[in-house]
Amino acid sequence: MTELGDNTHPIQVPAWRRIVVKLSGEALMGTRSHGLDQDTLARFAADLTNTAARGVEVAVVVGGGNFFRGIEGADKGIERARADSIGMLATVMNALALEYAIEKQGQAARALSALPMPALCEAYSRQAALHHLEKGRIVVLAGGTGNPFFTTDTGAALRGAELSCDLIMKATQVDGVYSADPKRDPTATRYDQLTHAEAIAKNLAVMDTAAFALARENRIPILVFSIKQPGAILAALEGRGKATLVLP
């Protein structure tokens, strides 16, 4: 067991065996206005590699918002199902880039897509993903759920359940779950710990309701942390620094 939280509100968390990390597309663009930032990719790849080196089996679900967000495309007049399909293609680009960045760290990785495109990467199946995880490879999961109208947050919760993960790690730009957007409301309070039911009832927008509901049904904890600092994934996993643990 390790402690999570600040010195006054420590949280006891177990050692995790298999995790799924949700990285947004926006996180991959670093300080750029769009696209991919190579330094940021290398930093995330090193962090994921160091996490795998601790004996943790690591899957990563990537978003595509640095290239295209389906809901924003729908707002601009593209049919929602078609816009979401474009967004899913954006996640494949990110997955291929992250796969390569991880391999440059000397760590084996495999990109698997829920949208079959065999010329580019392996098609996702539960059996294939489990095989790669058991072989010590980092599995980079693209294509969301493979269906429109579902976010990549929901995709992360779905893959977490399918792959029997012990933990979903949600990387954000803030150090946990707040009662309101801390960038807009300076009085917002941060939670050290809460339940899935509380997150849904309070309409806390760090993940969508479908993702929280899937995690609750399958009793998978969610760890919400800031990705801003180097080594943030491993630090959060080991209970160093601030984060919010959302429990069943």
Write out pLDDT tens, residues 71-125: 676 677 899 999 999 999 999 999 999 999 999 999 999 999 999 999 999 999 9
CA atoms 94, 100, 102, 107: torsion sign: positive
> What are the boundaries of each domain within the chain?
2-247
pLDDT of residue 13: 47
Which residues lie below 8 Å from residue 40, measured CB to CB, with a gap of 6+? 27, 28, 29, 30
Higher-confidence position of 107 and 200: 107
Whether residue 167 has pLDDT greater than 70: yes
Mean pLDDT of the chain: 91
Report percent pLDDT > 90 for the chain.
79
pLDDT of residue 12: 45
Whether residue 3 has pLDDT greater than 80: no
Higher-confidence position of 62 and 14: 62
Helices (H), the chain: 25-28, 38-53, 70-75, 80-104, 126-134, 152-162, 196-201, 209-217, 232-237
The correct CATH number of 2-247 out of 2.40.160.20, 2.120.10.30, 3.40.1160.10, 3.30.565.10 is 3.40.1160.10
Q: What is the mean pLDDT of residues 208-226?
A: 94
Closest by CA to 173, choosing from 1, 12, 31, is: 31
Using an 8 Å Cβ cutoff, are 140 and 112 in contact? Answer: yes
Position 11 confidence tier, pLDDT thresholds 50, 70, 90: very low
C-alpha 214/C-alpha 161 separation (Å) is 8
DSSP-assigned letters across all residues of 50-113: HHHHTT-EEEEEE--TTT--HHHHHHTTS-HHHHHHHHHHHHHHHHHHHHHHHHHTT--EEEEE
C-alpha 80/C-alpha 160 separation (Å) is 26
C-alpha 150/C-alpha 159 separation (Å) is 13
Burial class (CB in 10 A: 0-12, 13-18, 19+), 197: middle
pLDDT of residue 15: 77
Q: Which of 29-33, 40-44, 72-76 has the weakest average pLDDT?
A: 72-76
Q: Which of 3-7, 8-12, 169-173, 193-197 has the weakest average pLDDT?
A: 8-12
Using an 8 Å Cβ cutoff, are 50 and 234 in contact? Answer: yes
